[in-house]
């Protein structure tokens, strides 16, 4: 009969543990969901910032290329026919 006391203790402990464990588990899940949502918002903001930076750099490179193309002679043009040809 030494197993009766642990059995009764278990029968009394399970309902109490259930009442405590369920709200505790809900709190953990709710907190975790909040953290995940915050991380998603932060990642989205960082992604948008990177897209903005990429667009700015692309525009700067395109402007620099356009500026360089304007000052250089056309491809296949004979030497001395560029915009600086009269300066020589």
Domain limits, the chain? 4-68
Tell me the average pLDDT of the chain.
83
Q: Rounded to whole angstroms, what are the CA distances from 12 to 1, 3, 7, 22, 74?
A: 18, 14, 9, 17, 92
Please state, in angstroms and rounded to a whole number, the distance separating the CA atoms of residues 64 and 57. Answer: 10
Query: What pTM was computed for the model?
Result: 0.51
Please state, in angstroms and rounded to a whole number, the distance separating the CA atoms of residues 9 and 15. Answer: 11
Span 11-46, pLDDT tens digits: 888 888 888 889 999 999 999 999 999 999 999 999
Please report the pLDDT score of residue 53 as a whole number: 97
Cβ atoms of 62 and 74 within 8 Å: the answer is no
Tokens 């975790």 belong to residue? 32
Segment 56-73 shows an average pLDDT of 86
């Amino acid at each position: 009969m030494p197993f009766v006391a642990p059995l009764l203790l278990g029968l009394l402990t399970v309902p109490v543990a259930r009442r405590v464990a369920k709200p505790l588990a809900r709190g953990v899940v709710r907190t975790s969901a909040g953290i995940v949502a915050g991380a998603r918002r932060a990642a989205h903001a960082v992604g948008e910032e990177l897209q903005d930076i990429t667009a700015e750099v692309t525009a700067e490179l395109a402007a620099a290329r356009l500026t360089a193309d304007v000052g250089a002679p056309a491809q296949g043009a004979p030497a001395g026919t560029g915009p600086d040809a009269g300066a020589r």
